[in-house]
Chains A and B, each alone.
Chain A
Amino acid sequence: MSYLKPTLHHPKLPTNALGLTRRDYEGSISTLCAGCGHDSISAAIVQAVWELSIPPHRVAKLSGIGCSSKTPDYFLGASHGFNSVHGRMPSVLTGANLANRELIYLGVSGDGDSASIGLGQFAHLMRRGVNMTYIVENNGVYGLTKGQFSATSDKGSKAKKGAVNTDEPIDLVALALELGATYVARSFSGDKDQLVPLIKGALTHQGVAFIDCISPCVAFNNHEGSTKSYDYVREHNEAVNRLDVFFDRTPITASYAPGEVTEVTQHDGSLLRMRKLHEDHDPTDRVAALNYLARHKAMGEIVTGLLYIDPHPEDLHDHLGTVATPLNRLDDAALCPGSAALEKINAALR
């Protein structure tokens, strides 16, 4: 396994609109196991941010604790990162977002971090509509502590040492839909073509965007009997649509038959084009998305794709009515009422 990252790279690596190569979006070398799904997600994040030509330092990446939460060190090395407390990334990110509404916020979490210890914070962040991209790298298992079931493990799923899970799983996608998330997707770390556009759509979304990304754990949850293994997910993956993200009115190419495409223009001007792969699914209908999810879950399918999007979301700043200037840039004059105002207060207290 490599422990050093080569500094040499091909002189003709493609550049984005900022003249940066993908290498400019990478981070430290990963310390995760070889073949870990999480590394594919990190690569997809690098690809998505690079393709969107976002200056890396305008992204703040935050996480909780766990294998997934280590990954922000492995992408966007020029961004500030914060590996916070187990299950509490949502509150830390909420605070960060309140302080500076101009940065792009990316929260990376795991199924233990978000569905067990942090379920409360996950729920309340969704309710508040914090403008962020929330990725759960979902492997159904505790990796760093070596193989315990997590709250997203399916009932009946088998652990590496043979124990069978008897608890009902928590479906974070269903919860996110229920709790008001305005961009809800599921993907698979083994399907980069699906994942990269979903991350791009999430990053451009001006509300809370949630991606549940199934990401097999090669060390503890990739065996026969697991429902989060590469093989199981490939067999049961039912993509509802294929997403493309554009910033101009790229004409629909001949390969898309009219009527099979849903288009949504987001607030920032980005165009989300979804090719339907599955029956009648309207991704702008929250209730339909919940129904669709429940129906297909009952059929034993893992539904992936962009399940729901509200093209005109509101975020926490809208709800609070804060000023456009980031709060962390307000100076004394904007914040301190001064001695004359204090004299008036004194007078009223006599």
Chain B
Amino acid sequence: MQKLSAVNDFVVKFANVNGSGSASANQLFAKSILRMGIPIASRNIFPSNIQGLPTWFEVRVSGEGHLGRRGGVDMAVAMNPQTWDRDIAELEPGGYLVYDSTKPLPRSRFREDITVLGVPLTEMCNARYTDARQRQLFKNIMYVGALSSLLGIDPAAVEQLLTEQYRGKEKLAASNREAFHMGRDWARANLPEIGLRLEPADKVGNRIYVEGNAAAALGAVYGGATVCAWYPITPSTSLAEAFERYCRRFRTDPDGRKRYAIVQAEDELASIGIVIGASWNGARAFTATSGPGISLMQEFVGLSYFAEIPAVIFDVQRAGPSTGMPTRTQQSDVLSAAYASHGDTKHVLLLPEDPRECFEFGAAAFDLADRLQTTIFVLLDLDIGMNDWLCEPFAWDDAKRMDRGKVMTAEMLEAGTTFGRYLDVDGDGIPYRTYPGTHPSKGAFFTRGTSRDRFAKYTEQGAAYVDNMQRLLRKFETAKSLVPAPIERKASRTTPYGVIYYGSTSAAMREALVGLEQDGVHLDALRIRAFPFPEDVSRFIEAHETVFVVEQNRDAQLRTLITTECGIDPARLVPILHYDGTPITARFIRAAIGRQASSLDVVPLRKTVP
């Protein structure tokens, strides 16, 4: 058997039972590697359940800094008998299995081509602890100790993390330290050396490790959101909860009064209704939801579009339709968000690639909503939203001020400025609005979802309706210059082929591009960051014969949006689709594009690799 051998480049997968307290131990493992200066990408794979079902935590160690999911497992920490066979089967040949060897298992339950590393975790815990819960919890810390010995994790990094985590709770810190060392010492005395090693590096820099939902919530705080209305739904719940946490910390007056309001609404309809009411009245407001919530909000989103009321919706996408796979990731709400509601509507979408952009776009969404007086969708997905990602630190310019858009004040009204709620005074399609209560006799208007003229007076005349709908299109054109522009990355040589991607696909895509270059497939790459598409998108496609569009949904939704909105011949856009609910991998993209490329004759006859 050829044992796997690698330094700072392997995948460890923990198989646990949810509710067993493994999450914090696994987090400790992940962070201690980061503290050694080695980049990691970690992902939770969990069921829609609170206790007793299987859950996995996957850590990809990548000295090269690849942050997408790699695929394959080099070391399994199998703590869940329920998924044992599956976890063993998933291991790469030559891989390593760490398991609780307290209870002997027949040889038939193992594989011949892996290295089995048994640690009597339950036995050690039962000997040391009497309390059932302690026996359970410290078992987790103990395996982290064993792994630290096997892989070469710096124990000082772990101790430091425990000190930080249990600041002010010295007793807890000490007992965790003890369990960690018990596992570590046992492994040092009893287990052989293995081929997977961690070596301190300097590849993390000042990057941070954070989940996208928390980052987006923090963006909402910095963006000046004061009203949050939401209905609990996986995988968006932690966004609203993080908003509350950050607000409590940053927006509480000395007397305890709050400079924010959070309502857990009775459903998603009420959530978006509250957001629209608050925004109509001049507060910045948002909701966080997932696909089913977007479906429920459709009517209100149409109202926001037609009555021109700002709203921000964070949609943390999951696999649908219906309740689909509520704890699995997808990019499958692109179309339902872009064209949400009845009638002719289209909406601005922001497509962050990682938590750093979740923060940035999360704040910018409120300026855009006020400026454009419409709904702004920020499309995260479960992979970005609920996993900790290594990303650039958050940054903020203190000189920046909220852009409240075109709001007519009492002074302007008093000075005799003409106010027409739906009057395009600047040619950009964006009218002025007034907040309720602005002026005793001027500037009041009646907001309605039904047709009206430029001065908000009810009318069902076709000409007035068309006039208004055309102005809304002009406004959407204006949006193109305001939303984040796409980012292009040129191949190392001139190529007639391109690839378009967005959102959480980015990390895997970047890695795949490196691999594809090695395979002789050269691609110019364009990362789309928003809809409506700025002109750069059409230009990019026109500059290439064939463009691959990589997405995490079945129906190639962004591709449809591009062909519809940019008038592109669909034949020029080749879909590369991944939609099994797991995050897309570089291996998948490389293989899928590679296959397509050879049929398109992208690969030169003589490989360029020496």
A95 contact from B204, B285, B445, B449, Cβ within 8 A:
B285
Whether the Cβ atoms of B280 and A95 lie closer than 8 Å is yes
Tell whether A266 is near chain B: CB-to-CB under 8 Å. Answer: no
24 contacts between A and B (CB under 8 A): A57-B437, A82-B447, A83-B446, A83-B450, A88-B269, A88-B270, A91-B274, A92-B277, A94-B229, A95-B273, A95-B275, A95-B279, A99-B278, A100-B282, A100-B283, A320-B258, A327-B227, A327-B260, A335-B224, A339-B395, A342-B394, A349-B210, A350-B206, A350-B209
Whether the Cβ atoms of A350 and B208 lie closer than 8 Å is yes
B interface residue count range (under 10 / 10 to 19 / 20 to 34 / 35 or more): 35 or more
Tell whether A35 is near chain B: CB-to-CB under 8 Å. Answer: no
Also in contact, A342 and B396, with CB within 8 A (given A57-B437, A96-B436): yes
State A89–B352 Cα separation when bound (angstroms): 33
* Segment from B46-54, B111-119, B248-256 that makes contact with A: B248-256
- A113 smallest CB distance to B (angstroms): 13
Whether the Cβ atoms of A93 and B277 lie closer than 8 Å is yes
* Segment from A36-44, A70-78, A133-141, A167-175 that makes contact with B: A70-78
State A81–B447 Cα separation when bound (angstroms): 6
Whether the Cβ atoms of A60 and B436 lie closer than 8 Å is yes
Q: Which residues of B contact A99 (CB under 8 A)?
A: 226-227, 277-283, 285
Chain A interface residue count, Cβ-Cβ cutoff 8 angstroms:
60
Whether the Cβ atoms of B270 and A124 lie closer than 8 Å is yes
Whether the Cβ atoms of A84 and B265 lie closer than 8 Å is no
Interface string of A75-117 (1 = CB under 8 A from B): 0011111111100101111111111101100000000000000
Tell whether B440 is near chain A: CB-to-CB under 8 Å. Answer: yes
Also in contact, A339 and B398, with CB within 8 A (given A80-B447, A95-B285, A327-B226): yes
A80 contact from B250, B279, B303, B445, Cβ within 8 A:
B445
Q: Which residue of A lies closest to B436 (CB)?
A: A80
Q: Which residues of A contact B504 (CB under 8 A)?
A: none
- B460 smallest CB distance to A (angstroms): 12
Also in contact, A124 and B265, with CB within 8 A (given A85-B449, A321-B257): yes
Interface string of B350-393 (1 = CB under 8 A from A): 00000000000000000000000000000000000000000001
Whether the Cβ atoms of B303 and A85 lie closer than 8 Å is yes
Main secondary structure of the interface of A (DSSP, over half): helix
Q: Which residues of B contact A337 (CB under 8 A)?
A: 221-222, 250
Q: Which residue of B lies closest to A77 (CB)?
A: B444
Tell whether A332 is near chain B: CB-to-CB under 8 Å. Answer: yes
Whether the Cβ atoms of B263 and A84 lie closer than 8 Å is no
Additional 11 contacts, C-beta under 8 A, given A78-B440, A350-B34: A80-B436, A92-B280, A95-B280, A100-B436, A120-B267, A124-B270, A327-B260, A328-B281, A335-B259, A337-B221, A349-B208
Tell whether B170 is near chain A: CB-to-CB under 8 Å. Answer: no
Whether the Cβ atoms of A320 and B262 lie closer than 8 Å is yes
Whether the Cβ atoms of A327 and B273 lie closer than 8 Å is no
Whether the Cβ atoms of A327 and B444 lie closer than 8 Å is no
Q: Which residues of B contact A95 (CB under 8 A)?
A: 227, 229, 273-281, 283, 285
Whether the Cβ atoms of B276 and A332 lie closer than 8 Å is no
Q: Which residues of A contact B448 (CB under 8 A)?
A: 82-83
Whether the Cβ atoms of A57 and B274 lie closer than 8 Å is no
Within 8 A of B (CB), among A6-42: none
Q: Which residues of A contact B266 (CB under 8 A)?
A: 120-121, 123-124
Also in contact, A57 and B440, with CB within 8 A (given A83-B448, A92-B274, A95-B278): yes
- A102 smallest CB distance to B (angstroms): 7
Q: Which residue of B lies closest to A101 (CB)?
A: B261
Q: Which residues of A contact B436 (CB under 8 A)?
A: 57, 60, 79-80, 96, 100, 103
